[in-house]
Amino acid sequence: MTTYSQETVNRILAAADKARIAGVEVRLNLKGADLSGLNLSGADLNGAKLRGTTLCGAKLEDADLSGADLKYADLRVADLEGVDLRRTNLENANLSGADLSDASLSEADLENANLSGADLKYANLRKSNLRKADLSNTNLKAANLKNADLKNAGLKNADLKGANLKGANLEGANLDFSCLPLWCGSLGVIWDDKHIKQVAYHLADMIKSKGMEVPESIKEMANQSHLIEKHNVNKI
């Protein structure tokens, strides 16, 4: 793995910008490089080859990484606020603890990516692939997840307040202890039986709290919830 200094990277970026001004299409190749802690804020890395690159703790605020290949990249605790990551390949990338607030990730491939503890508030994840992604303890407040594929994703303890989940696929996703939005932005979500039974249990508990009789159809679903066995709660 080649380790680059700030000075070297600055020269590479300056040369690329000069070439673009001259009308040359530039797609930088920094595949497998170590760019840990470097300042790449505002850099034009559109379509760059960054597969397996280490960007741990790097500052990439407002950079253009659209269409880049960041598969297997290490972006732990990186500053990616406002970054353009549209249609970027981030499959199996490590973004744990990264700041992705207000970032654009529409149609990005984040399958199997580690986003645990990341800040994704106000991020645009429309039509993104988040299958099997780890989004545990993630801040997704007011994030746009419209039509995103979250099948089998881990969303334990995730904060989804105000998030737009219209048309999102949450089949097999772990939503235990997460904060789901109760507004029209959560309508049209693709749920699975586990989620329906889990919500039914909470609904039944709400009905009971008002001294009302829980309808048998809701009670039947509620009593099949994994909450009873996993979290040792009583049947309705």
User: Rounded CA gap, 130 and 108, in Å?
Assistant: 9
User: Rounded CA gap, 111 and 90, in Å?
Assistant: 7
Q: 167-171, long-range: CB within 8 Å, 24+ apart, which pairs? A: 170/195
Q: Using one digit for the tens of pLDDT, what is the confidence trace for 91-146?
A: 999 999 999 999 999 999 999 999 999 999 999 999 999 999 999 999 999 999 99
Does residue 128 lie in a domain region? no
Nearest of 189, 206, 100 to residue 150 by alpha carbon? 189
Q: Quick one: average pLDDT of 145-150?
A: 98
User: Rounded CA gap, 115 and 3, in Å?
Assistant: 25
Determine phi and psi for 164, rounding to 5 degrees: -95, 110
Does residue 150 lie in a domain region? no
Q: Using one digit for the tens of pLDDT, what is the confidence trace for 32-56?
A: 999 999 999 999 999 999 999 999 9
How many domains, in total, are found in the chain?
2
Residue 31: which CATH number?
Answer: 2.160.20.80
Name the 3-class secondary structure at 229. helix
Name the 3-class secondary structure at 110. coil
**4 has pLDDT over 90:** yes
Does residue 35 lie in a domain region? yes
Token pair, residue 74, equals: 């290490």
Does residue 220 lie in a domain region? yes
Does residue 183 lie in a domain region? no
By residue range, what is the domain housing residue 215?
Answer: 195-230
User: Rounded CA gap, 111 and 105, in Å?
Assistant: 13
Does residue 219 lie in a domain region? yes
Domain match, 92 and 201 both:
no
Q: Quick one: average pLDDT of 203-207?
A: 93
DSSP 183: S
> What are the DSSP calls for 135-166, one per residue?
-TT-B-TT-B-TT-B-TT-B-TT-B-TT-B-T
Q: What is the mean pLDDT of the chain?
A: 95
Q: Quick one: average pLDDT of 1-18?
A: 95
Amino acid identity of 127?
Answer: K
Residue matched to tokens 């605790």:
77
Torsion, Cα 187 148 94 98, to 10 degrees, reads -50
Model confidence, pTM:
0.91
Q: Facing residues of 89 across strands?
A: 69, 109
Q: Facing residues of 29 across strands?
A: 49
Residue 23 C-beta-side C-alpha neighbours within 13 Å: 0
Does residue 81 lie in a domain region? yes
